[in-house]
Chain A
Amino acid sequence: MNKRRTILIADDDEDDRFLVKSALDDCQVSCAVKYVENGVEVMSYLEKGDGHGDSQHKPSLILLDLNMPKKDGREALKEIKNNPDLRSVPVIILTTSKAIEDINLCYGLGANGYIVKPNSFSELANTLKILTKFWLDVVTLPPM
């Protein structure tokens, strides 16, 4: 638990990033929160870190939005789950899309969870609290 952990939030919407950040603050999760705005930035972060000498650039959890510019969440998810080095990083889809096609596609690609962005702040805070607790403290994914 002493190890400094990172949650990577990929969302092109500034308000949503702010809401998630506030919610995570409320949960008092002891980890760093990093932001990227599209799929390209997700991949480059996972390869090189954030460019501030963060050696531990493999995040403990990725919260991935689906609809983003340049490279969307679906493509990023596919690349992450096809990469043996990154496969063990849990990826939770956090999106507004309720489309059954998206849900099927994401689980098919290997997403570890699919959450439709809650409408209320308290719900979002609760959801993130449970999520982070589960994925950061409870389970570990097999490396392969």
Chain B
Amino acid sequence: MQQTSKYIKLSFLGFAILLMGLSWVSYQQVSVNLNSTNAVEHTQKVLLVSEEFISNMKDIETGQRGFLLTQNHTFLEPLNQGKVEALANLDSLEALVKNNAVQTRCLVKIKELGLSKIKALTENISLIDKGRAIDLSTLEYGKKTMDSLRTRVVTFQKNERDLLDIHTNSKNYGQSLMPIYQVLLSFASLVLLGISFYLVNSELKRRYFTEKNLEKKVEELNRSNTELEQFAYVASHDLQEPLRKIRAFSDKLQIKQKDLLSNDGRDTLDKIASSAARMQTLIDDLLNFSRMVNHKAQEIEKISLNDLIEDILEELSDEIHQKNANINIAKLPTLMGYGFQLKQLFLNLINNSLKYSLEGVNSEISIHYSEVKAKQIKHISSPDDHQLFHKISIIDNGIGFESQYVEKIFVIFQRLHNRGEYQGNGIGLAICKRVMANHNGFIFAKSKPYEGATFEVYFPTTTT
């Protein structure tokens, strides 16, 4: 199950990574497209403005020629207009190519040429205006400047176009791969999604079946438990009837036929009567036990264990006095439980400690309390390691028992001693175990012969 959940996690992780890759590829594509659009726009703009610049320069040239020929000032208007626009366009071009060193250098040259052309031309005009003649060489210089200006601008434009080409090429190359990446990533995502779905689905199905099975098992268990409990009750109840009659009739026989019976007959009848009496106590115990087991009939209430144990010690005061027992009780918690059962539990445990004390030694019984986590309890496996338990230990200095019996002592009617040595029917600890089960708790024992015994009970801290 853990393996499957690992796979599910992994495939979902892979799926997420692939989705991120897919998003990244798409983003790249969009941004490449945007870049190339910008580049095209940029180039177009550079070309347009440089074209305008050349046309401005032509306007200036034409204006100058017109003026030189006619000396009419109206020709100076487009010239002046052209000057202003040419300078403005140069500024725009500067701004447009400022990130490109080659083009900026190229533009600096263009600007130089343009400015010197304008300067020369302005000088010519002012000479004409003053009525002086102009040197032909200045005109030649003007033409040369204009020609080299044109060549420069053409180079400038060609550079820009080349740049665009490089850009477009790289864009086309990148874009031709993008769809392949996208398809591959989408396909991989789909495959992983399919795998995840399959894993989750099969896990869900498995859990569904397990749950159904568990429910069925629980139902069966409950039923068989109820049947068993009823069986124990009914059996012991119905067993009582004939037994009572055996006792009554043998008693009657003993009384009524006293004179007719021989000694042997009387002895035999005595044996029958005492055996029947013994059986009676066993059946009574069994009945008590099965009543104890049937905890559904009882109410859960808030129980202060200190108060409860105080009551028990009051009841046991004769025995305590007789054994000269010293009992230390820690501060114990208050918990939700079946009062009657909890009383039986602690009564049986304390009573055992008193009963199985070492002869000639004062009985020392201490009751300790601590809170522990489920993982600290050795013999259990809990689904939640961190569940808290009240741990109450009852420790005595009595005769103890062999550690091999730690489990046997909790089985009903199991005894470690002859009836002659210690009284009892082997039902006390069975009741304790059952009480703990009814409270979703546990009971464990540990001991060594003549070294006392320790009984530990664990109640879950949450309400039972």
Is there an interface contact between B248 and A121, defined as CB atoms closer than 8 Å?
Answer: yes
Query: For window 106-121 of chain A, which residues contact chain B by CB distance below 8 Å?
Result: 117-121
The answer, yes or no, to whether B244 is at the interface (CB within 8 Å) is yes
The answer, yes or no, to whether B314 is at the interface (CB within 8 Å) is no
- Give min CB distance, B285 to chain A, whole Å: 14
Is there an interface contact between B244 and A121, defined as CB atoms closer than 8 Å?
Answer: no
Cross-interface CB contact of B240 among A96, A122, A124, cutoff 8 Å = A96
Q: Mark B269-280, 1 if CB is under 8 A from A, else 0.
A: 000000001001
Query: For window 201-228 of chain B, which residues contact chain A by CB distance below 8 Å?
Result: none
Is there an interface contact between A119 and B244, defined as CB atoms closer than 8 Å?
Answer: yes
For residue A117, which residue of chain B has the nearest CB? B244
For residue A16, which residue of chain B has the nearest CB? B245
Q: Which B residues are CB-close (under 8 A) to A96? A: 240-241, 244
B residues within 8 Å of A by Cβ?
240-241, 244-245, 247-249, 251-252, 255-256, 277, 280
- Give min CB distance, B282 to chain A, whole Å: 14
Q: How far is the CA of A103 from the CA of B244 in the complex (A)?
A: 20
| Among A19, A121, A124, residue most surrounded by chain B Cβ atoms (within 10 Å) | A121
The answer, yes or no, to whether A22 is at the interface (CB within 8 Å) is yes
Q: How far is the CA of A88 from the CA of B257 in the complex (A)?
A: 39
Is there an interface contact between A22 and B247, defined as CB atoms closer than 8 Å?
Answer: no
For residue A22, which residue of chain B has the nearest CB? B252
A residues within 8 Å of B by Cβ?
13, 15-16, 19, 22, 96, 117-122, 124
Q: Which B residues are CB-close (under 8 A) to A120? A: 247-248, 251
Is there an interface contact between B252 and A119, defined as CB atoms closer than 8 Å?
Answer: no
Is there an interface contact between B280 and A121, defined as CB atoms closer than 8 Å?
Answer: no
Cross-interface CB contact of A15 among B240, B245, B255, B277, cutoff 8 Å = B245
Q: Which B residues are CB-close (under 8 A) to A15? A: 245, 249
Can you show 17 pairs from A to B with CB atoms below 8 A apart? A13-B241, A15-B249, A19-B249, A19-B252, A22-B252, A96-B241, A118-B248, A119-B247, A119-B248, A119-B277, A119-B280, A120-B248, A120-B251, A121-B249, A121-B252, A122-B255, A124-B248
For residue B276, which residue of chain A has the nearest CB? A119
Q: Which A residues are CB-close (under 8 A) to B247? A: 119-120
- Give min CB distance, A44 to chain B, whole Å: 26
Q: Which B residues are CB-close (under 8 A) to A121? A: 248-249, 251-252, 255
Q: How far is the CA of A140 from the CA of B245 in the complex (A)?
A: 33
Q: How far is the CA of A132 from the CA of B37 in the complex (A)?
A: 120
Q: How far is the CA of A19 from the CA of B277 in the complex (A)?
A: 18
Is there an interface contact between A122 and B251, defined as CB atoms closer than 8 Å?
Answer: yes
Q: How far is the CA of A19 from the CA of B248 in the complex (A)?
A: 8
Q: Which B residues are CB-close (under 8 A) to A117? A: 244
Across chains A and B, which 10 residue pairs bring their CB atoms closest together, nearest first?
Answer: A121-B252, A121-B251, A120-B251, A119-B247, A121-B248, A15-B245, A19-B248, A119-B244, A122-B255, A122-B251
Q: How far is the CA of A22 from the CA of B255 in the complex (A)?
A: 12
- Give min CB distance, A24 to chain B, whole Å: 13
- Give min CB distance, A116 to chain B, whole Å: 10
Q: How far is the CA of A124 from the CA of B248 in the complex (A)?
A: 8
Q: Which A residues are CB-close (under 8 A) to B240? A: 96
For residue B245, which residue of chain A has the nearest CB? A15
Q: How far is the CA of A19 from the CA of B251 in the complex (A)?
A: 11
Q: Which B residues are CB-close (under 8 A) to A22? A: 252, 256
Q: Which A residues are CB-close (under 8 A) to B255? A: 121-122
Q: Which A residues are CB-close (under 8 A) to B280? A: 119
Q: Which A residues are CB-close (under 8 A) to B277? A: 119
For residue B248, which residue of chain A has the nearest CB? A121
For residue A116, which residue of chain B has the nearest CB? B244
Q: How far is the CA of A124 from the CA of B249 in the complex (A)?
A: 11
Q: Which B residues are CB-close (under 8 A) to A119? A: 244, 247-248, 251, 277, 280
Please name 6 further chain A to chain B contacts, defined as beta carbons within 8 Å, in addition to the given A96-B244, A121-B248, sorted by A numbering: A22-B252, A22-B256, A119-B244, A119-B248, A120-B248, A122-B251
Q: Which A residues are CB-close (under 8 A) to B256? A: 22
For residue A118, which residue of chain B has the nearest CB? B248
- Give min CB distance, B422 to chain A, whole Å: 25
- Give min CB distance, A68 to chain B, whole Å: 13
- Give min CB distance, B17 to chain A, whole Å: 69
Q: How far is the CA of A125 from the CA of B457 in the complex (A)?
A: 48
Q: How far is the CA of A13 from the CA of B280 in the complex (A)?
A: 20
Q: Which B residues are CB-close (under 8 A) to A124? A: 248
Q: Which A residues are CB-close (under 8 A) to B245? A: 15-16, 19
Q: How far is the CA of A15 from the CA of B245 in the complex (A)?
A: 8
Q: How far is the CA of A15 from the CA of B241 in the complex (A)?
A: 10
| Among A13, A15, A120, residue most surrounded by chain B Cβ atoms (within 10 Å) | A120
Q: How far is the CA of A12 from the CA of B241 in the complex (A)?
A: 13
For residue A23, which residue of chain B has the nearest CB? B252
Q: How far is the CA of A122 from the CA of B251 in the complex (A)?
A: 7
| Among B245, B252, B255, residue most surrounded by chain A Cβ atoms (within 10 Å) | B252
Q: Which A residues are CB-close (under 8 A) to B252? A: 19, 22, 121
Q: How far is the CA of A120 from the CA of B251 in the complex (A)?
A: 6
Q: How far is the CA of A16 from the CA of B241 in the complex (A)?
A: 10
For residue B291, which residue of chain A has the nearest CB? A99
- Give min CB distance, B258 to chain A, whole Å: 11
Q: How far is the CA of A95 from the CA of B277 in the complex (A)?
A: 19
- Give min CB distance, B29 to chain A, whole Å: 83
Q: How far is the CA of A15 from the CA of B246 in the complex (A)?
A: 10
Q: Which B residues are CB-close (under 8 A) to A16? A: 245
Q: How far is the CA of A118 from the CA of B251 in the complex (A)?
A: 11
- Give min CB distance, B291 to chain A, whole Å: 9
